[in-house]
Structure 1
Amino acid sequence: MSDQSGPAPLYHSDRSLDYWLSPELAAITPANARSRLRELASARGSYMGAWAAGIGVGAVLVLLGVVLSVRLGTPVTLPALGLPGAALAALCGIFFVRVRDRLPRTSRALVNRGPGGLRGALSFGAFVLIVFVGVFAFTAKPSTWQDPEALLTLATVLASMVCLLVVGIIVPATIAGRSRESLRRKAAKDPRFRGLLEQDLATWRDPYGQAGYGPL
C-alpha cells in the first residue's frame, strides 16, 4: 500500500550549527530565503534596536535638561528632564542586555516599519532635516536671521532633532541591518549563547513548511 502522506519534512538535523552559521553558506543563498537562524537574527535585531533607541532617548533627555538649564539660567529643567531620562536609559539598558543574551520569541517579533539599514536611515534623517530647515527658511522673518538669540534657539532645536534622529532612527536601523552578523559574532564569542542555539537546533521544527534551520 503506497504512502499518501507526501514527502517527509526536511529538518536538516544532521547538519551542525557551524555549518548553518558559516558565512560561505550565507553568501551562496538568496538574501530573502527563509530560515530559522534568519528569523532569530531579525527578531533579536528588532528588539535590540528598540531598546537601544530607548537608551538613546533617555540620554538625549538628560542632555536636553543640561542644555536648557544653562540656556534658561535655572536648574529646574535638569531634574525635570534628567531624572526621567536617566530612568528610561537604565531600564532600557537592562532589557537590551536581556534580549542580546537570549534567543527571542520569533512569534512575537517587533514589526519594523522604519529603514532597514544605515543607508536608508541616513537618507530619511537627511530628508527630515532638509524639510525642517527649508520650512523655517521660507517662513522666518528676515529679522530672525539677525537675532543671535533666535539663531541660538534654532541651533538648539536642530541639535536636538539630530540627536533624536540618530538614536531613534539611525541606531535601530543600523542594529537591524547588521542583525545577522551580530548573531554570528555572538555565537562565536559567547559559549552560553551558542549552547542556546545548539539546543534550539536539536528541538526546532518548521511549523509552516520545510524551511531549514539555516543559513544565516
Structure 2
Amino acid sequence: MSYQTGPAPLPQAARPLDYWLSTELAAITPAGARSRLREIADARGSYMGAWAAGIGMGAVLILLGVILAIRLGTLVPVPSFGLPGAAITVLCSVFYARVRDRLPRTGRLIVNRGPGNLRGALSFAGFVLVVFIGLFAFTAKPSTWQDPAALLTLAMVLTFVVGLLVAAIIVPATIVGRSRESLRRKAAADPHFRALLEQDLATWRDPYGDAGYGPL
C-alpha cells in the first residue's frame, strides 16, 4: 500500500510536525489521500469509538435496570443490571483512556461496518426508530392506544432502543467521523502525545516509497 499526498513529499527531517498537522496542508490535499498521520487518526478513532460504545452499552444496562424496576415495581433489577453495567463502563473507560493517549498499531486491519460520521449515524438511527414505531402502530390493536399500561411499556421500550442506538451507533460514528480533528487537538493540547508523534515522525519511513508523514 502506498501513501499519497498532494504536494511532492520531502524527507521527513525537512518538515516539522506542525507542517504535517497544519489545516492548510490538509485543505489542499484530497480527502481520500492516505498518509501516516491519517492512518494513525483513523485507527485511533476506530479504537476510541469501539471502547466508547462499550461505555455506552454499560450505561444502557444501568438504564435497563432502572426501566425494569419502574415497570415491575421492585428494585431487584437495578443491581442485577446496574452492577454488570457499571463494571463494563469502568473497564471500557480504562481502555478508552489508553487508546486515546497512545499511538495505535496501524498495521492491524480495522473493519468498521457502521456509519462513519454523525450524519450517517443519525440517518440510520432515525430509520430504525421509524421502522420500530411503524411496526408497532401497524400491529397494535386500537384498544392499545387507550391502555395507559401498554403506552407506558411502549415508552420504556422506546427509551431503551434510543439509548441502544445512541451508545452503539451515534457515539462511535461521531468519534470516528471526527478522528482527524481529534488527533490535531490532542497533539496541540497534550505534550506527551505530541512527543510520541515527534518520535514516530523521526523514525517512520514509508515502506513502499518516499511519501511524506502527512497531511492530516
Q: TM-score, normalised by structure 1?
A: 0.93
**Per-residue deviation, residues 103-138 of structure 1 (Å, max 9, x unmatched):** 000112531111110000000000000011111111
How many residue pairs match? The answer is: 208
Query: Is the 1:34–1:211 contact (alpha carbons within 8 Å) kept by the matching residues of 2?
Result: no
Q: Distance in 1 between the 2:87 and 2:42 partners?
A: 27
Q: Equivalent residue for 1:134?
A: 134
Query: Is the 2:61–2:82 contact (alpha carbons within 8 Å) kept by the matching residues of 1?
Result: yes
Deviation, 1:67, is 2.0
The aligned runs of 1:75-94 (5 Å cut-off) are 75-94=75-94
Query: Is the 1:66–1:78 contact (alpha carbons within 8 Å) kept by the matching residues of 2?
Result: yes
Q: Equivalent residue for 1:195?
A: 195
- Give the partner amino acid of 1:158: L
Q: Distance in 2 between the 1:55 and 1:74 partners?
A: 26
Q: Equivalent residue for 1:36?
A: 36
Tell me the secondary structure at the aligned position of residue 80 of structure 1.
helix
The aligned runs of 1:1-216 (5 Å cut-off) are 11-216=11-216
- Give the partner amino acid of 2:87: A
Deviation, 1:207, is 2.1
- Give the partner amino acid of 2:90: A
Q: Distance in 2 between the 1:85 and 1:28 partners?
A: 45
Deviation, 1:211, is 3.1
Deviation, 1:158, is 0.7
- Give the partner amino acid of 2:124: F
Q: Distance in 1 between the 2:190 and 2:122 partners?
A: 31
Tell me the secondary structure at the aligned position of residue 116 of structure 2.
coil
Q: Distance in 2 between the 1:130 and 1:151 partners?
A: 17
User: Identical aligned pairs, as a percentage?
Assistant: 77
Q: Distance in 2 between the 1:34 and 1:11 partners?
A: 17
Q: Distance in 2 between the 1:163 and 1:41 partners?
A: 27
Cα-Cα RMSD = 1.3
- Give the partner amino acid of 2:175: I
Structure 2 gaps of 5+ residues are: 1-8
Query: Is the 2:71–2:153 contact (alpha carbons within 8 Å) kept by the matching residues of 1?
Result: no
Tell me the secondary structure at the aligned position of residue 180 of structure 1.
helix
Tell which deviates more after alignment, 203-212 or 146-155: 203-212
Query: Is the 2:38–2:214 contact (alpha carbons within 8 Å) kept by the matching residues of 1?
Result: yes
- Give the partner amino acid of 1:114: G
Q: TM-score, normalised by structure 2?
A: 0.93
- Give the partner amino acid of 1:201: L
**Per-residue deviation, residues 25-54 of structure 1 (Å, max 9, x unmatched):** 101110000000000000000000110111
- Give the partner amino acid of 2:79: P
Tell me the secondary structure at the aligned position of residue 108 of structure 1.
coil
- Give the partner amino acid of 1:19: Y
Tell which deviates more after alignment, 141-150 or 118-127: 141-150
